[in-house]
Amino acid sequence: MNKTLLSTTAALIGLAGAAAAQCTIEGEGSVRILANDFQALHAVVARAAECASDTVEVTTNETTEHKDIQVAALSTDPAAYTVAVVANGSLVPLLNEGLTRPLDDLVEQYGQNLQESQLIRIDGQIMAIAFMANSQMLHYRADILEENGIAVPTTYEELIEASAALREAGVMETPLYASFKPGWDLGEEFINMYMGSGQPFFEPGSAVPAINNEAGIAALEMMKQMTEYMGPDMMTYNSNEAQPYWENEEVAFMTGWGSRTAAFIDENGATPEIAAETEVVAMPGWGGNGIPATTLWWDGFAMAKNISDEDAAVSFQAMMYALSPELVADPETAALAAWLVNGYEPQPAAAGVIANMQAGAAPYPMTPYMGLLHTALGDNLAEFLQGQESAEEALEDVVAAYTTAATEAGFIQ
Amino acid sequence: MPHRTFSLFILPSLLAMILFVALPIGSVVYQSLFIEHEQVMVEVENCGPFGCTIERRVDAEAMRELREAQPAGRFNGIGTYLNAGHLAVDRIGEIWERTDDWGTFLDQVMNLPLYKALIFTLSYTFIVTPFVIILGFFIALGVNALPGLIKGPVIFFSLLPMIVTPLIGSLVLYWMIDSRGIIGSALQTLVGDPTLSLKASPTLTWVTLFVYGIWHSAPFAFVVFYAGLQGVPKDTMESAMVDGASRWERVRFVTIPYLMPLATFIALMQLMDNFRVFEPIVGFSAEANATSLSYLIYSDLRSADSPLFASAAATSVLTTLGVIILLMPVLVRTWRDFNRKA
């Protein structure tokens, strides 16, 4: 979806309402934004687009394929985009190629509204600005738990017990939903689970994987136990497809992303009575470690290196306007995510993310070879979960696949 | 035709072949021999909304210098072909050492990525192709026997599976075989097993993909055979009838021999098409239970942060070799025919 917004700016400003402050930008140049495509980001990008004027051109490209084009798009000189909206995972490929620009000077000049926690400093330099936090959290049906006298699970062990109790009581056959679709989703589920052990993914100071150990096997066994209480099609479950199951009252527990929670608790949605009873808490821990089994993510933006100083200045100003406190003054936008911007009051959808942070969850590693491990995990765990392999064999396959890829990419010799 | 005229005659297509076939294949082979430079790593402190951590990072400047010196990467010879993601020579050796009987050995080898993909690709090719030919033939016979009035609409509807984009077709079926979809839940009731899932069981996933493949390609065989049926010589057919041949005998001894070259043509096309099976795997989200060679290439290029070009190139070369081996019998026959005529 690539649209030049010059022509539609007038309409957008009209929609935003006359009460909103006008975006005034010093200088002239062009703002070219590449972003992922979901509601919360759309709110940010739409605000940046309001900055289009006679001297400032704004174009945006919101696409779920952003990760696949960002490196190529920022490698050209001048870069195809001035602003790349990224997450902690997707910033790494840009850093690996050295395609982003330090933002210290711009922050000093235009970043009055930024908070220290928003600045992503790498080796002392500000390389990105974060504006929202995301993580998985446990969604549950408060009414069903109450009717059956089940306490809200705080550990995976309790979650399994609660699921068993619901099945025994004849309330639900398959009360659990987790995104076990092979590929990115399944890899992320294992990474989350393994995070709950507090163990590192790699040998210190090297790219040699360290997951083929007791913690890795225990994490896999826990996932296997979950499959007992998931529907027959669980190997195609992913976060996009969770909602129909939830609204159809087929599941009572779901591990799901904070950025999607708004849709589940939306009382103007398809099933308001279910939405009203949907609540979120921190992700459970396991094995007595007390660490929520999840990774913390931030979404933010970085800026291309190969652009003129004028373009950089107007682009940064446009993003600053987009991320001003007015963004979260609108209650509908505020409810979309756990915003990190100035002036944000925590909303129900963000409760789980904040609870995860407070309980000591760690961020998704920004190590350059983490993506390769993630891919290897996503491709090699399905057979274990379907009972065709042992946990040891599955981890051995993961290590072999990862080592092959990491050797080819030059991380392991 | 004199050799000179012949050469001039084919020169344009020869040039196009070199430009669009030979050169790309050559570049893929070249690419498969190189891997990424050794990454220069530095330790840095990362700070963000969740606190600070020490993490390793690629030194982009140093890497740029390396790449400028050697743009193709590090020479790796046929290392990529032999690694665990492809022919897995070392891992097969290990498995050989630790297994006692052939059953377990084969079982574990078939679990290696390339072999797993290869076995599905071959099964798909050799099961779908004959079924497509047989089914297409019978549809053609049936349609050919219909009265003229309804022939047109029937032909149109028989062609639909081929007209539907493979990805859309497989997505539609994907939702129908869901355990809550019309086919999935009908099967559950029929078998009396509420946990039956066409998506979870590897065997059933394979069967689903085969059935989909036959459904999708049968119209192609049908249309070719149907065209061929219009040219079956009436005299021969009538003399067979005068000789007292039954309908089956007429099909067996007149129609089939006449359509044989077409069957060879369809077999060739289908072998090539089915060997690169890809869309249904994505459409059915079947990657847990079935991967093909094309799917491996796709996943090398798409799933990691940066594409693994050497792996993708090596798999492409192996796939090309596979196609050549598959088509060898036909190629050999063509070569013999050529020599005989010359």
- Chain B hits for A393, CB-CB cut-off 8 Å, are 111
- Chain A hits for B84, CB-CB cut-off 8 Å, are 400-401, 403-404
Is B49 a residue whose pLDDT tops 60?
A: yes
Residue B79 near residue A404, CB atoms below 8 Å? no
CB–CB contact B49 A183 (8 Å): no
- Chain B hits for A401, CB-CB cut-off 8 Å, are 84-85, 113
Domain positions in chain B are 77-105, 120-287
**Min Cα separation A11/chain B (Å):** 35
Model-wide pTM > 0.95: no
Cα–Cα separations (whole angstroms), residue A118 to A113, A131, A217, A355? 10, 6, 36, 19
CB half-sphere exposure, A378, CA atoms < 13 A: 22
Is B334 a residue whose pLDDT tops 80?
A: no
pLDDT at A6: 43
Closest to A405 (Cβ–Cβ): which among B56, B91, B304? B304
CB–CB contact B305 A118 (8 Å): no
- Chain A hits for B80, CB-CB cut-off 8 Å, are 408
Distance between CA A208 and CA B233 in Å, rounded? Answer: 71
The pLDDT confidence band at residue B342, using thresholds 50, 70 and 90, is low
- With 0-12 / 13-18 / 19 or more C-beta atoms within 10 angstroms meaning exposed / middle / buried, residue B182 is exposed
> Which amino acid type is present at position B254?
V
Q: What is the mean pLDDT of each run of 10 residues along chain A (413 residues)?
A: 44 42 84 91 94 93 89 93 93 91 95 91 94 93 95 96 95 94 92 95 93 96 95 86 90 91 86 92 92 94 95 95 92 88 84 87 91 92 91 94 92 89
Nearest residue of A to residue B51, measured between CA atoms: A117
Count of residues for chain A? 413
ipTM of the predicted structure?
0.83
Count of residues for chain B? 342
- Chain B hits for A410, CB-CB cut-off 8 Å, are 35-39, 74
- Chain B hits for A98, CB-CB cut-off 8 Å, are 60-61, 63-64
CB environment B104-125: b (16+ within 10 A), e (fewer) = eeeebbebbbbbbbbbbbbebb
Structure tokens at B336: 């013999």
Structure tokens at A128: 């990105």
CB–CB contact B45 A121 (8 Å): yes
Residue B158 near residue B143, CB atoms below 8 Å? yes
- Identify the structural domains of chain A with CATH numbers, from first to last: 2-134+297-353 (3.40.190.10), 135-295+359-408 (3.40.190.10)
Model confidence over B306-332: pLDDT tens digits? 788 999 999 999 999 998 898 888 778
pLDDT at A16: 43
Model confidence over B175-207: pLDDT tens digits? 898 888 899 889 889 988 888 888 878 888 999
Cα–Cα separations (whole angstroms), residue A48 to A31, A315, A322, B311? 9, 9, 5, 40
Model confidence over B147-167: pLDDT tens digits? 888 998 999 999 998 888 888
Residue A338 near residue A128, CB atoms below 8 Å? no
DSSP B252: I
User: Which of residues A10 and B334 earns the better pLDDT score?
Assistant: B334
Virtual torsion, Cα A79, A81, A87, A90, nearest 10 deg: -40
Closest to A117 (Cβ–Cβ): which among B39, B49, B289? B49
* B120-287 under CATH 1.10.3720.10, yes or no: yes
Distance between CA B130 and CA B79 in Å, rounded? Answer: 37
Closest to A92 (Cβ–Cβ): which among B83, B305, B308? B305
CB–CB contact B45 A401 (8 Å): no
CB–CB contact B45 A183 (8 Å): no
Bond preceding residue A78 cis, omega within 30 of 0: yes
DSSP B196: -
For residues B231-251, give the mean pLDDT: 90
CB–CB contact B47 A120 (8 Å): yes
- With 0-12 / 13-18 / 19 or more C-beta atoms within 10 angstroms meaning exposed / middle / buried, residue A341 is buried
Cα–Cα separations (whole angstroms), residue A107 to A112, A393, A397, B62, B252? 8, 50, 46, 27, 82
